[in-house]
């Protein structure tokens, strides 16, 4: 019986990341979850350990990731599913908000991969999977900063793919359209109500499992997942008193 493979997963606490964790844990994987929330409701502590790390704390992140890599040298896959959404015209963003969005959606992802890539290369095999967005494919109104982070992530994946192939490392970018999660809770828009108006987190989890299960000599460079019908609904907010 082959040993279970071990994955580092950011964003495992909810939404897309939690669905990835749930599916992979049922498929003979072990997971090291990275996030600010140490809770793991419903997950076996033996198969799913948690590293409490704030990915937005870039000053301390390199050392925290270095220590984590030294504790889990048997990791052979890195899946980055953490991210946040903020939308609006550029002038609606403060300079601090621009920085925060870039830090969590782009820079922290690069830090995580940078910390674990040497481990994967020493093993001579491994996989890096990043969850991007349809916003990496075409920019839209009120999405300039968000799209900038996702376009940059896409370029990073394309270059990393070429840099790492000789070392046996596969790199995949998955670009979901609108996903029915709490991502939209703090936004002023959301998918339409019909099932065809949004994909679900489990769709992305299935895609992640597929790319990780492919032959070592085969790479899914990029996967775009979209709802059958793209319908955006504006939320009606009560006027301020």
Render pLDDT for 195-230 as a digit per residue (tens, 0 to 9): 999 999 999 999 999 999 999 999 999 999 999 999
Q: What does the buried/exposed string (b/e) look like for 62-85 if buried means 16 or more CB atoms within 10 Å of the residue's CB?
A: eebbeebbeebeebbbbbbbbbbe
Spatial distance between the Cα atoms of 183 and 191, rounded to a whole number of angstroms: 11
Host H or E run for residue 49:
strand 48-52
Q: Dig out the tokens for 89 from the structure.
A: 């015209």
- The answer for 74, left when phi > 0, alpha when psi is -120 to 50, beta otherwise, is alpha
Q: Where is pLDDT greater, at 22 or 236?
A: 22
Provide the whole-model pTM.
Answer: 0.92
Would you say 227 and 180 are in contact if contact means Cβ atoms under 8 Å apart? no
Residue 238 has pLDDT above 60, yes or no: no
pLDDT recorded at residue 14: 80
């Amino acid at each position: 019986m082959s040993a279970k493979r071990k994955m580092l997963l950011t964003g495992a606490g909810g939404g897309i990341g939690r669905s990835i964790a749930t599916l992979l844990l049922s498929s003979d994987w072990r997971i090291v979850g990275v996030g600010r929330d140490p809770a793991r409701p419903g997950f076996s502590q033996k198969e799913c350990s948690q590293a409490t790390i704030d990915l937005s704390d870039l000053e301390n992140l390199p050392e925290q990731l270095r220590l984590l890599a030294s504790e889990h040298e048997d990791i052979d896959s890195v899946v980055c599913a953490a991210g946040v959404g903020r939308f609006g015209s550029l002038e609606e963003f403060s300079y601090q908000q621009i920085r925060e969005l870039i830090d969590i959606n782009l820079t922290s992802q690069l830090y995580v991969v940078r910390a674990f890539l040497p481990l994967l290369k020493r093993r001579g095999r491994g996989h890096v999977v990043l969850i991007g967005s349809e916003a990496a494919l075409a920019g839209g109104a009120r999405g300039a900063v968000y799209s900038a982070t996702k376009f940059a992530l896409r370029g990073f994946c394309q270059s990393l793919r070429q840099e790492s192939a000789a070392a046996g490392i596969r790199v995949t970018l998955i670009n979901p359209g609108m996903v029915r999660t709490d991502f939209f809770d703090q936004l002023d828009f959301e998918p339409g109500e019909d099932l065809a108006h949004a994909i679900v987190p489990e769709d992305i989890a299935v895609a992640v499992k597929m790319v990780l299960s492919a032959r070592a000599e085969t790479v899914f460079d990029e996967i775009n997942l979209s709802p059958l019908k793209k319908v955006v609904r504006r939320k009606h907010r009560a006027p301020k008193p």
